[in-house]
Amino acid sequence: MARPFLGAFEQLVLAALVRLHKDAYGMAVRQEIAERTGRDIAIGAVYATLDRLEQKGFVVSRTGESTPERGGKAKRYFDLTAAGEQALRDSVGQLQRMVKGLKLGWTS
Amino acid sequence: MDLMNSPRLARGILRLFLPRETRDAVTGDLEEGFARAASPRAWYWKQVMRSIAPSIGMRWRSPGVLRIGVAAVLSYLVLAACVIGLEAAISPFVDAPTLPYILLNLLVGTIGAISAGSVIAVMVPMAPMKAVKIFAGFLGVMALISFAVEFGRAPLWYQIVLLCLGPSAAYLGGRLTSGRRIASGA
């Protein structure tokens, strides 16, 4: 079976999960991406990507605690699977091989 | 900032589009963001509006009402196309409702139902047999309605065979297709 590829945003989300470790839930992932990339992402887009990654077997979800700040709604945490870690590693490796040796200003 | 201050209308709109299993997590996250945002109400509304399209995408990817409903309608159109196509093709050559016509009608209806079951299994790959069973049930209901409407006008044996054959053929089509996809690793 062909190895599945990650989209650009999927890579960002998986990398955020690695950084957040056990504290990765929707809003935290969104914030991590916003702080590191400057991108203002809709929370729905984060969950849609996490949902897609879960269907691919790259993440698993678990229900967390609810708090008064969240209106009593429980958090949904996401953890990277071994397959997800491998997919991210492959994806980063591909990009590194692609840009290796390239100099900045190559279009000028 | 408590739940009562976040825009209820915006929250209600988003909950309509979100899949059931994600609603609480997403709206809970939005409450957190609302509590921290500089312009909370504007931020909340912007997040909701931008989250509608991804939410519909999530619903489409889950084997829920939206996906199964659209798949069932398309599958039923496949079945109808087969049966209507047959009637157009054979009516110049075979008189209705003679026995050869009825048998051909059942044959093509069966092929149509197998095709329709196959279509729905392809369209709902995440839960093909769930969708096929719902569709077979729907065909059974349609056959019952036809039985009631056509009672006395069509041969009884034909009505009973149709009642049994349609749903079974759709189930078979779905089963064959989902089994083939599992075997090929799709």
Tokens 């429980």 correspond to: A74
Q: How far is B176 from B186, CA to CA, in rounded Å?
A: 14
Nearest alpha carbon to residue B168 among B157, B180, B176: B176
Confidence of residue A106 (pLDDT cuts 50, 70, 90): low
> How much is the pLDDT for B4?
56
Residue B162 CB-density burial (10 A; 0-12 exposed, 13-18 middle, 19+ buried)? buried
ipTM over 0.85? The verdict is yes
Q: How far is B51 from B45, CA to CA, in rounded Å?
A: 10
> How much is the pLDDT for B79?
85
pLDDT (tens digit per residue) in B29-40: 999 999 999 999
CA distance B14 to chain A (A): 9
The answer as to CATH 3.40.50.970 being correct for domain A8-99 is no
Identify the segments of chain B with pLDDT beneath 50: 1-3
Tokens of B142: 């349609």
As a whole number, mean pLDDT of residues A26-39 equals 96
> How much is the pLDDT for B61?
83
Nearest alpha carbon to residue A51 among B12, B173, B62: B62
Residue of A nearest to B3 (CA): A71
Measured between CB atoms, which of A27, A30, A42 is closest to B54? A42
Confidence of residue A25 (pLDDT cuts 50, 70, 90): very high
**Using the beta-carbon criterion (under 8 Å), do B29 and A68 form an inter-chain contact?**
no
Kindly list the domain boundaries of chain A, sorted by start residue.
8-99
Q: How far is B121 from B180, CA to CA, in rounded Å?
A: 11
CA distance B46 to chain A (A): 8
The residues, any chain, with a CB within 8 Å of residue B153's CB and separated by 6 or more, are none
pLDDT (tens digit per residue) in A75-87: 999 999 999 999 9
As a whole number, mean pLDDT of residues A25-44 equals 96
As a whole number, mean pLDDT of residues A43-48 equals 97
pLDDT (tens digit per residue) in B136-167: 998 888 888 888 887 877 788 888 888 898 89
Q: How far is CA B69 from CA A89, B42, B108, B138, B172, in A?
A: 39, 35, 24, 11, 20
**Using the beta-carbon criterion (under 8 Å), do A73 and B22 form an inter-chain contact?**
no
Does residue A2 register a pLDDT over 80? Answer: no
> How much is the pLDDT for B3?
47
Does residue A40 register a pLDDT over 90? Answer: yes
**3-state SS record for chain B:** CCHHHCCHHHHHHHHHHCCHHHHHHHHHHHHHHHHHCCCHHHHHHHHHHHHHHHHHHHHHHCCCHHHHHHHHHHHHHHHHHHHHHHHHHHCCCCCCCCHHHHHHHHHHHHHHHHHHHHHHHHHCCCCHHHHHHHHHHHHHHHHHHHHHHHECCECHHHHHHHHHHHHHHHHHHHHHHHHHHHHHCC
Q: How far is B132 from B84, CA to CA, in rounded Å?
A: 22
Q: Does the predicted TM-score (pTM) go above 0.90?
A: no
Measured between CB atoms, which of B31, B61, B126 is closest to A69? B31
